[in-house]
Amino acid sequence: MTEDRPSWDAYFMDIATLVACRSTCLRRAVGAILVKDRRILTTGYNGAPTGLMHCGQKKGCLREQLGVPSGQRHEICRGLHAEQNAIIQAARHGVSILGATLYCTTQPCSICARMFINAGIKEVYYKEGYADPLALEMLEEAGIPCQQIALD
Q: Indicate the DSSP class of residue 141.
A: H
Say if residue 14 is exposed, middle or buried (CB neighbours under 10 Å; 0-12, 13-18, 19+).
middle
Q: Check whether 109 is labelled as a binding-site residue.
A: yes
Handedness of CA 15, 141, 73, 118 (dihedral sign): positive
Helices (H), the chain: 8-20, 62-65, 82-93, 110-119, 133-141
Q: What angle do CA 16, 152, 101 make, to 5 degrees?
A: 35
Q: Check whether 81 is labelled as a binding-site residue.
A: yes
Catalytic residue among 83, 123, 128, 137: 83
Q: Check whether 104 is labelled as a binding-site residue.
A: no
140 is known as an active-site residue = no
Known binding-site residues equal 81, 109, 112
Residues marked as catalytic? 83
User: Which residues are annotated as part of the binding site for Zn(2+)?
Assistant: 81, 109, 112
